[in-house]
Every structure is written in C-alpha cells, then in structure tokens.
Chain A
Amino acid sequence: MGKTLFDKVWDSHVVSTIENGPQILYIDKHLIHEVTSPQAFNELEERGIPIFRPNQIVATADHNTPTLHQDKPIKDALSRNQLEQLSENCKKNNITLYELGHKYNGIVHVMAPELGVTQPGLTMVCGDSHTSTHGAFGAIAFGIGTSQVAQVFASQCLLLTKPKSLRVTVNGQLKNGVLPKDVILYIISKLGTNSGTGYFCEYAGNVFEEMSMEGRMTVCNMSIEMGARGGMIAPDETTFNYVKGRKFAPQGEDFEKKVAYWKTLPTDDDATFDKEYSFDAADIEPMITYGTNPGMGIKISENIPTDENPSFKKSLSYMNFEAGESLINKPINFVFIGSCTNSRIEDFRVAADYIKGKKKAANVTAWLVPGSKQVETQIIDEGLKTIFDDAGFELRQPGCSACLAMNDDKIPQGEYCVSTSNRNFEGRQGQGSRTILASPLVAAATAVEGKIIDISKQLN
C-alpha cells in the first residue's frame, strides 16, 4: 500500500518504538520564543542536563514585544525580564537568537520560513500551537508544551504516538475576492473545532496547488483551529522556488539533491487516509466569524445560524449578536491586520491594493503589524507604507501584537475587532474584546467603510 506525505516524513524520523507505547521521533528544527521556553531552560539547568543540539534551535522574540519604539527599553518589567531571560539562555547555550530589533526578528512562524529554516521533509516543533504553519512546505510541524520543549532540548526527540491521517481536498475555481484565509475559515466552519483532534491533516486539490507559499502558510496555520496538530501540503515547484537561495536553505548541488528527495515526498496515488473530506471551491465565499471559536464562521452574506446549545448561546451573548441576524452594516471601530496567520507581504499587498486611493473611516483604529522585520522592510520598499499612511492606517513594528494581546496592543472592553488573526476566543484580544476573524481583504474593506460590508457585491 502506498504512503502518505505524512507517513513518509514521520517514518523517516522514527528512532525507535516502545513496545505497546509511543515512538521516539527525531526533531530536525526546534524554534523557541520568550514565553514558552524559560521554564524548560530552568528545568534542564536544575537537573544538570545540557542542551543536546543547540545548533538545531533558532530563537526569536515575538509574543511579548512592543510594536512601537522597539529601539527603547521595554517599559513593562515582566515583559522585559522574559526577553532578558531569553537572551541570557540563548547566549549561555550557544543558540542563535534574532532578538528585538535584529533584521531577522519576527513572529516565529513568519521569520523561520523567510530564512529558509523551514524546508520540506523536516520535523519541526515550537512551543506554540501555530507551528502547524510550516506544514505548508511539506514538513511535519506542530506545537508542543513546555515539558516537551525541555525534552527536545535534552534529546532532540519527543515521545509520541503517531496521529491518524486526514485529507481535505478542495478542487475547482475560487471566486473573485476569496483568499486562502476564507478557504480555511470555510473548512473549519464545515468541520468544527475538534474534527481534526488526533489527526494530521493534508490539504490537497488544485486550490492548494495553485496557492502561493504565503497562502499555503495561512491555511496550514489554522489547522490547529480544527483540532489537528498539524497540516501539510505536498511540496512542489512553488515550494522549491520559495526555499531556493534563502539564508539557511541548502545551496548549489546540495539544493538539487534535496529537491530530488523532496520530489519523492508527495502522497502516493494508492495511499489511504483514516478520514477524508472534499469541498467545491465554487461554494466558498468571503468568510467571517460571529462567535467565540473559529468554527463559528459564516459566509459574509449569510445570517448567524440558530442553535439551542447553551454554549452556543453563551457565545452569542458574549459577542452581543442575535441568532438569525446578518453582520452586514455592523459598525466596527477596530481593525487588525497581522498575526502568524496573515502578516506576510502578500497580505499587505492585498490590503494596499484595496486601500489605494481610499481613506479609513473616521471611527476606525486600523493597526497593521508586519510579521517580521523583513516584511516591514518590504512594505516600505514597495511603497505600500505610503498608501497606508495616506489612508490613515497605522503601520507598527513586527510581533504577535493584538492577536493575543500580551503586549499593550489590546482591543478595549466591548469593542469589536475585525481581525486577520486566528482565534476569536473570549478576551483573546484584550479583556472583554470581541473578535471577528476575516481575510486581509475583508479587514481592509471594514476599515475603509467603518462597518462590515459584503465585499463580494462590491467586487463583482
């Protein structure tokens, strides 16, 4: 029987199997950041265990960093301490760190692919659930807890039971104005937030084949929002072209050898999956969420469904929405374009293209937070910053920012925010804040109109 992409990468990384138990899985790349690593460093130090393979670890500061005045000392003492500990720990253990202000600094899931750390066929982990992003390259990449960060520090391995396999196929022609974010929000709205739990998901079909690497990353990023530990897309010419020439990518003949290997990775025709779903691209429209988990999404033109489940009602009550109502024309005061889901150059190009020649509505605060220093530089070099400045949008410095509001970028109590991030949980963007997930195009249109509009109608 044939093997799936996931089988091929997983099986080639199994060091050994414990009888009636988990497998020892070898991890090629370990990404770390300031929030989920300090306790792991402490644990190893207390137990007198050295870091096994420091050269396979890459560190960045992103979750807890300010997006203004990054050249100045950080005001918040706890945040400052967390960043200082990261710097000390990396220095002590010879780990490469791209700290705040460095030209390669950025959100871990934006900067690692940019630097070519992310490559097909690798196993990658990070103490962050959106590590699934890197699966866009045909890597097995998933989020881990801090105890597991310590395990990888100590052994470059994890003890894991192989997950089951799931494939989501989307074929057909996407409509005008439907972005990768809409595709994944659509899939999650159909399958729910726990449909992928216990599974690794492969995305297949011409829709993903035709997507850019940025788009594939947006899709794989949100795999965890349907419960799947990771999502993968078969590596192809788009992948190879993206990786080629990047700082940590294999060079010259070595690269060609790797490409020959990467070409063997896609799922065999006769491979089978434990679960399969398929959707028609033509059914997908610009999406929007109305509740407090990412599965609570609708087409922007649809009305909020009715459901008697108490958790569903609690969710609508938190959002101050009524079952059956439409979100079109809802006034919105905050718009956030950023996060590891949608803060790559392509996302800002889409937004700028829409915004060009328009102005943001007077009631709106619109934050644009690039995923990395490199994206920030590109925004300036391509002239997008001028478009944003002219329209009254605020371009900030890179970081996770208002996606999880660990820093000062918080949405006020009771306010709605149309956000390109990945989670609309209660209080995710600040205590009492109400998040509406959408694509960068829908977010840009909302900022210009000051309310939610049916973008498809405007475009067609």
Chain B
Amino acid sequence: MEKFTTLQSRAIPLHIENVDTDQIIPARFLKATDRKGFGDNLFRDWRYHKDGSVNTDFALNDSKYSGKILVAGDNFGCGSSREHAAWSLTDYGFKVVVSSFFADIFKGNALNNGLLPIQVSEEFLSDLLDLLVSKPETEIVVNLESQTISVKGSDLQEDFEIDAYKKTCMINGYDDIDYLVNNKEQIEAFEAQKIY
C-alpha cells in the first residue's frame, strides 16, 4: 500500500448525497480479475451519456476542476461492498475523499487502499463545496499526522478523526495482512480453545 502523510491539491466538488458504489463503478464493469484500470469507468454513467458522448455538466468533466481530492455529499459510498469503488477512485488519481458521512464498508475499503476518507462537519462540507464552486483553483491541505484539513488562503480548517491503528498503517504503508500473518500463533491458540 502507498504511504500517505500530507497532500496539497485542488479538489473536485460532487454536490450529491448518498453516492452509492453502483454509481462509483457500475456492476457491469466488475468482470475484471485484477485491481487496475477501473478509473476509466469511475462514475461511468454520470460522466458519459448512454451513446458514449461526454456529459459536460458532470464535475469530473468540467475543465474548471482538477485535483486529487474529491469532495462529496453526505453518506458517500453506501451500498455494495465492492472494493472496485475504492480501486476506481485511486486508479483515476484521487488520494482523498471528503464527505460529512461515509458508509462503513466503503470507508474500510478506502483505508485498505491508501485512499484517505476524511469525515468533516456538515457546515465545513457546505462551505468547502461553495468555495470550490466560486473559486475552483482553491488548494486544500491535508495533514494526516496532525489530522487536519485546511483551505489555503482562508481560515477554513477542521480536525478529523481516524483510528490510531489505521493512521499508522496509512503513514507507513502497512496493511492488515502483515499484522495478521505475524499473529498466526495466537490465532492457532485461539482455535484450540474456542468455547463455542
């Protein structure tokens, strides 16, 4: 897993609530057997019309916007457990997703792929979305060590929560498999004395 410490980047606003994983990556693109290449089909049915032409109204296709941070409405990533959603976001180039609420499974999948989900207050999210629309060139600074997200040239700043263990994993690029495999003896001992 790639390490994550700090990031300064512009951001793309996606002012939609309840973005489900079927929108992030529709099921018909889940037939691949590796983790690469999903970025091409990220938000496929919002980015393209059915005839394949580009939907210029969609934020990802708007030349005003760019960057490695996606700022989305409440309850991002609900629905299916498909990790392809996290893979498609990272493959497209995102490193951070900001929302006022994340669905559980998506959040875990993101953290397992070096994609940082930052949960902010509804007020912060609303201010940030407005700012991005009025000043698309706005730069955002994320610092995982200090657990802060701030906006360059403004006093908009907020602290965010992250599980201490997951933070260490992100900063060092570790994943859970390393930890679990190193604890095999303990797991075998548990199996030998299971009470149920």
Q: Are B45 and A311 in contact (CB under 8 A)?
A: no
A159 CA / B195 CA spacing, docked (Å)? 20
Pair A147/B113 contact, Cβ less than 8 Å = yes
Taking a contact as CB atoms under 8 Å apart, the answer to whether B78 and A193 are in contact is: yes
- Provide the bound-state CA to CA distance between A129 and B50, in Å: 28
For the complex of A and B, 3 pairs with smallest distance between CB atoms = A21-B165, A155-B180, A145-B109
* B45–A431 CB distance below 8 A: yes
Kindly identify which residue among B31, B73, B104, B165 contacts A82, using a CB–CB cutoff of 8 Å.
Answer: B31
Q: A145-B108, A426-B22 are in contact. Are A26 and B50 (CB under 8 A)?
A: no
How many interface residues does B have (CB within 8 Å)? 55
**A150 pairs with B23, CB closer than 8 A:** no
Given contacts A143-B81, A146-B83, contact A159 B104 (CB under 8 A): no
Among residues 303 to 347 in chain A, which have CB atoms less than 8 Å away from a CB atom of chain B? 309-311, 314
Q: B33 near A85 (CB under 8 angstroms)? A: yes
User: Which A residues are CB-close (under 8 A) to B45?
Assistant: 426-427, 431
Q: CB-defined interface of A147-173 with B at 8 Å, one 1/0 digit per residue?
A: 110110011111101010000000000
Residues of chain B from 155 to 195 with CB closer than 8 A to chain A in the complex: 163-165, 175-177, 179-181, 183-184, 186-187, 190-191, 194-195
Question: Could you tell me the distance in whole angstroms from the C-beta of B149 to the nearest C-beta in chain A?
Answer: 21
Bound-complex Cα distance A432 to B102 (A): 25
A47 within 8 A of B: yes
User: What per-residue 1/0 map shows which CB atoms of B65-93 lie under 8 Å from chain A?
Assistant: 00000000111001111110010000000
Q: Which of A24, A146, A426, A428 has the most CB of B within 10 A?
A: A146
Which B residues are CB-close (under 8 A) to A26? 187, 190-191, 194
CB neighbours of B73 from chain A (8 A) = 311
Q: For A425, what are the chain B residues with a Cβ–Cβ distance below 8 Å?
A: 20, 22-23, 79
In chain A, positions 391-408 with a C-beta closer than 8 Å to chain B are: 404-406
Residues of A within 8 A of B191 (CB): 26, 156
Contact between A431 and B31 (Cβ–Cβ < 8 Å)?
Answer: no
Contact status B79-A423, CB under 8 Å:
yes
Q: Chain B residue with minimal CB distance to A295?
A: B18
What are the residues of chain B within 8 A of A297 when measuring CB–CB? none
Asked whether A20 is an interface residue with its Cβ less than 8 Å from the other chain, the reply is yes
Shortest Cβ distance from residue A23 to the other chain B in the assembled complex, whole angstroms: 10
Q: Is B15 part of the binding interface, using a Cβ–Cβ cutoff of 8 Å?
A: yes
**Residue B135 lies at the interface, judged by CB distance under 8 Å to chain A:** no
In the complex, which residues of chain A have a beta carbon less than 8 angstroms from the beta carbon of B187? 15, 24, 26, 52, 155-157
Cα–Cα distance between A41 and B82 once the two chains are bound (Å):
16
A15 touching B35, Cβ below 8 Å = no
B165 in contact with A154 (CB, 8 Å): no
Residues A42 and B34 in contact, CB atoms below 8 Å apart:
yes
